Amino acid sequence: MLHRLSTCLRAAVVLTLVSGLGVSAHAQFDPLRKGAGENRQKLTAMERKPFDWKTLSSLTDWKNGPAPTASSFDGKVVMIVNYSDWYRPAARALAIARKALETYGKDGLVVIAVHNPEGWKDAAKPEAPAGTTMLLAWDQKGDFRKALLSAQDPNFYLVDRAGQLRFADIANESVDDAVKFLIAEKQQDAASINQREADAKRAKDIQDSKTAALNNQADLLRNLPEQPFTQPAESAYREANWPKLPTNERGGNQTLESRKITLPNAGWSPTQPPFTGRAVLLYFWNPWVPASYDQMQRIADVMQRQHQRDLVVVGVLTDMNALGTRDDHMKDEEKAKKALTPESALQRIKEFQSARNYDHAMVVDLPGSVLKTVTSESEIPLPFVAILSSDGMSRWWGFVGAPEARGALDRVLEVDPGIAARRKAEAEYLRKAGTGDTKK
């Protein structure tokens, strides 16, 4: 009988993650975006550009106030939600908007709720919460939706304090965090974000050029082909000074031990990476549990780039409902929507990767066999990671923000005999490449 896990949804704040794996605290918020393919690319291209307030002129029957102008929103964060009162999931989007307004309306949030061309006459037209601005309007001909590439209700768009369409068509579960981020952002910071990032990119390009000039082997190393080498003996792994295993947070006399971790053979995106002579960092996530991936996926990508030859980072998509997450509060249609199959899970992975251009690999493991092998704890803190040595044994696991996380990873990279053997083979290849002799 499989042991069922329940997740303890302790979301990691950026500062905690910084203390754990040493990633910059200045990373921009990146919400989960809806859609994929060409339409998603067009939506993303609309972001960080001035919002065209003239599109509001196609809307009619304004409620809770007159038709606004661009000046109405100066210095405000504007949430635009396309909804349909007659379609239950889309109607709930209006409730999400109202809740955000009740929380952040006093801080400068404004909501524009735009109803579908159908059903406006009989639609409920609620008043704005006291002291806030929530304007309702009718997209009678659908022109407003066409301008925003809004394919199907509901859709959320957020305009920042500088009047830029900051986030286009984001997932419902990301709305609150996105609003919170934009509300906390100063108007001048929003206005200068493109320039600041362009300056940072320029500075990075200059530094990269200097690095390339100083080390001509950098490009060769990045594209280094896999080199054959003799695998270290088991005794080398037994004798290595591995990091101390995590403690049993629940107490008791249970002794935690390293275990052999076997990853799935199928369900990889974009492809299954090479593991020979490399350590592995696993994180466990689910698209319906933001605490499992929000911030973590960006950190994972940074770690992959920092240790591109010695470490393989893998996001393991796990069906946390199957692992015991309580969903008694959800309606049947919500449960059905969140139910994943191997095919739909792989599609969700590809949507995440295409929207964010990640460098690290992901794999589907809906039964949760990998996570269950890593730990038998009945509760896990999120984001949850496991560090494996090159022989596939788990050497540390737990909360990514734990003080021990970074030290454990550094220790594995330092003492892993498989990494040392692979590096030696690569060094010999580079030496021969430098002399023009690469014959074996």
363 forms beta bridges with 268, 316
Q: Is 48 exposed, middle or buried (0-12, 13-18, 19+ CB in 10 A)?
A: middle
Q: What is the pLDDT of residue 390?
A: 97
C-alpha separations of 184 from 98, 141, 258, 304 in Å: 19, 36, 43, 30
Per CATH, the number for 49-193 is 3.40.30.10
pLDDT for residue 152:
84
- Tell the burial category of 251 from Cβ atoms under 10 Å away from its Cβ (0-12, 13-18, 19+): exposed
Q: Check for a shared fold between 49-193 and 229-435.
A: yes
Query: Which pLDDT score is estimated for 221?
Result: 56
3-state secondary structure of 323: coil
Residue 167 has pLDDT above 50, yes or no: yes
Helices (H), 105-215: 143-147, 175-184, 187-191, 193-214
Token pair 């286009």 is found at: 168
Determine contact, residues 78/110, Cβ cutoff 8 Å.
Answer: yes
CA distance 184 to 14: 14
Q: Is the dihedral of CA 362, 291, 156, 50 positive or negative?
A: negative
pLDDT for the residue 127 = 92
To the nearest 10°, the Cα dihedral for 392, 396, 401, 407?
Answer: -100
Indicate the domain borders of the chain. 49-193, 229-435
Single out the residue of 292, 400, 416 nearest to residue 18, CA to CA: 400
- Give the pLDDT confidence score for residue 256 in this predicted structure: 84
**Whole-model pTM over 0.85:** no
Taking the C-alpha atoms of residue 248 and residue 405, their distance in angstroms, rounded to an integer, is: 15
| Amino acid at the residue 50 | P
Q: pLDDT for 43-86, tens place per residue?
A: 999 999 999 999 999 999 999 999 998 899 999 999 999 999 88
Mean pLDDT of 216-227: 65
**Mean of the per-residue pLDDT values of the chain:** 85
Q: How confident is the model at residue 315 (pLDDT cuts 50, 70, 90)?
A: very high
Compute the average pLDDT of residues 382-401. 95
pLDDT at 321: 65
Is the distance from CB of 100 to CB of 111 less than 8 angstroms?
Answer: yes
Within 242-341, strands assigned E span 268-269, 279-285, 311-317
Hey, what amino acid is at 56?
L
Q: Which residues of 12-40 are buried (b: 16+ CB within 10 A; e: fewer)?
A: bebebbbbbbebeeeeebbbbbbbbeeeb
Spacing of C-alpha 434 from chain mean position: 40
Provide the pLDDT confidence category of residue 4 given band limits of 50, 70 and 90.
very low
Task: Summarize pLDDT for 222-250 with one digit per residue, the tens.
Answer: 568 889 999 999 999 999 999 999 976 55
397-432 pLDDT tens trace = 999 988 899 999 999 999 999 999 999 999 998 888
Residue with tokens 């393989």: 312
DSSP assignment letter at 173? G
**What band does 23 get if pLDDT is binned at 50, 70 and 90?**
very low
Distance CA 76, CA 80 (A): 12
Name the helix (H) or strand (E) containing 381.
strand 379-381
Q: What is the four-CA torsion angle of 168, 172, 178, 180, rounded to 10 degrees?
A: 140
User: Which tens digit of pLDDT belongs to each residue from 144-163?
Assistant: 999 999 988 899 999 999 99
Distance CA 407, CA 42 (A): 42
Token representation of residue 117: 């061309």
Question: Within 13 Å, how many C-alpha atoms sit on residue 77's CB side?
Answer: 26
Mention every residue, 6+ apart, whose C-beta is less than 8 A from residue 342: 266, 267, 364, 366
Cβ-based neighbour number of residue 297 at 10 Å = 23
3-state secondary structure of 60: strand
- pLDDT of amino acid 393: 98
Contact 348, 287 (CB under 8 A): yes
Residue 249 has a CB neighbour count (10 Å cut-off) of 11
- Percent of the chain predicted with pLDDT > 90: 60
pLDDT-based confidence at residue 368 (cuts at 50, 70, 90): very high
Residue 255 pLDDT level (bands cut at 50, 70, 90): low
Q: Note whether 108 and 38 are within 8 A (CB).
A: no
* Residue with more model confidence, 197 or 360: 360
pLDDT at position 220: 55
Whether residue 372 has pLDDT greater than 50: yes
User: Does residue 337 carry a pLDDT above 60?
Assistant: yes
* Beta-strand relationship, 155-159 and 77-83: antiparallel
β-pairing, 361-364 vs 311-317, is: parallel
Per CATH, the homologous superfamily of domain 229-435 is Glutaredoxin (3.40.30.10)
Find out whether 374 and 386 touch, Cβ atoms under 8 Å.
yes
Residue 203 dihedral angles phi and psi, to the nearest 5°? -65, -40
Spatial separation of the C-alpha atoms in residues 133 and 60, rounded to whole Å: 17
